[in-house]
Amino acid sequence: MILTATWKDGVSGRRKMSLFLLVLLLVGERPFSSAFLVNPQGRKTSLSSSLCLLNLMKVKVQPVQFDGDNSSSASRQASRRSAAVVAPSPSSTSSPSPVSENNRVIVPQYNPVIDITSLPELLRFIDEAPPNQLCVIKFWASYCKVCQRAKQIFRRLAVVDDETCHIDDVSCDRSFAAVEIVQTGTSVVKQLGVTKTPFIQIYRNGKCVASFSTGPAHNFRRKVDDTLKLVKTRTLEEWDKFEEDFAAEIDVNQQELRKLRIQAEQEADHASQQDRASPTDEQAEPHDDGDGTLTP
């Protein structure tokens, strides 16, 4: 329920607290979703019942529906621990979401977003994707507050968008990945044109076909969702026209990818040489046989 207390003028702070605690004792057996203390000018609506205490304060109580049995605190805690996420309101810019009977988006236990923390992992994600598959990559940083708020939004987009798609009898399925820029290397992502976080890039057949900053968290879903709608509905003819129109931009990204592949190969060779240079078996330490003689 929602509890709203409106104080009359002249009531001291200590008396307010005492009265409010008394109200909590009176109705404490019922679950609360929130409680508000407002001034006499505060506006609260849609309240179903009210009562007065000592002619000093007015309390209005609004019941709130909970899933399951509300009489048990354990059931209330279990309800709050539910994996279901309330679905956003539908709009012209958001794709329809799969909902349950309670109008909730069900987020599966598995994570549909691949976590990438190194250059080789990033290159494999781009290079080894099936033909015409759209590789949606979110670049983020652990210190970025906007990135933290956008994390679950991106995951829900991946869940909602995880469906089979065919255009001109050719698969246009999507795969999603999140690249942490500090672990992967800020110099690496800068080569790809990533200037800030969160940042989105979409690859198709090894070519970057979308690259943009999402801006504030409240713009994240709209920008990513609108772009996905656009790229996953292009016909093969439209893709050819797009790659022709943006050939210069695509070529710049391709050149940087080639440099990064060479860099990854050099780093792998260097690591391999270090492994070969290090001894495979540790030298046996001399030990005392008990008579003072050290035996190797």
What is the pLDDT at residue 19? 65
Residues 4, 10, 12, 15, CA torsion sign? negative
| pLDDT tens digits for range 231-278 | 888 888 999 999 999 999 999 999 999 999 999 999 988 888 887 776
3-state secondary structure of 218: helix
Chain segment 112-159, per-residue pLDDT in tens: 899 999 999 999 999 999 988 999 999 999 999 999 999 999 998 888
pLDDT, tens digit, 9 for 90 and up, residues 147-176: 999 999 999 888 876 555 655 555 567 899
Bridge partners, residue 38, by sequence: 6
Q: List the domains of the chain with CATH numbers.
A: 2-62 (no CATH), 80-105 (no CATH), 110-260+265-270 (3.40.30.10)
Note the residue count of the chain. Answer: 296
Q: What is the mean pLDDT of residues 57-68?
A: 47
Dist. CA 216–CA 97, nearest whole Å: 23
Asked whether 84 and 107 are in contact (CB, 8 A), the reply is yes
Alpha-carbon distance 59 to 49, whole Å? 9
Q: How far apart are CA 48 and CA 43, in angstroms?
A: 15
How high does pLDDT run on average in the chain? 71
**d(C-alpha 37, C-alpha 20), whole Å:** 9
- Is 31's pLDDT higher than 70? no
Element (H, E) at 208: strand 207-213
pLDDT in the model for residue 263 = 94
Tokens 């009531």 correspond to 11
Note the pLDDT of residue 289. Answer: 52
Cβ-count burial 15-42 (b if 16+ within 10 Å, e if not): eeeebbeebeeeeeeebeeeeeeeeeee
